[in-house]
Structure 1
């Protein structure tokens, strides 16, 4: 029962930032909006081809379409 007690020391801010910025692939560095648009295009293409799409992808695509139609209708209302 000889256990050495080690106190948890959280990483410093610079260590945390270094951990966050390291190890990403180039595709993961895309802006979130562009990446999500590419994902939505992929989901739409798979739906059109009759392929299986996960529940979360289908739900995300539905919200994407809803948001897109809302923004288009609000732009028309401003004109």
Structure 2
């Protein structure tokens, strides 16, 4: 058994949703947890982090090929 503390708004949303579909709150939460666990169990690294990848893109397509030379140029420009 698990006891869980939830923010009031989330608890209200769970209550309203459970009532609207004719399900107990426990059953709704249990089904939701099972569905979530099923998704992450079968998720690959891309699925888990796709919302983070390339979020802050440099816009350069050659960055992986020229990383060393670009880094060196950046360091040398700071010395001047």
TM range (shorter): 0.3 to 0.5
Higher helix share: 1
**Whose RCO is larger (CA < 8 A, sep 6+)?**
1
TM-score (norm 1): 0.34
> Which protein shows a greater Rg?
2
TM-score (norm 2): 0.34
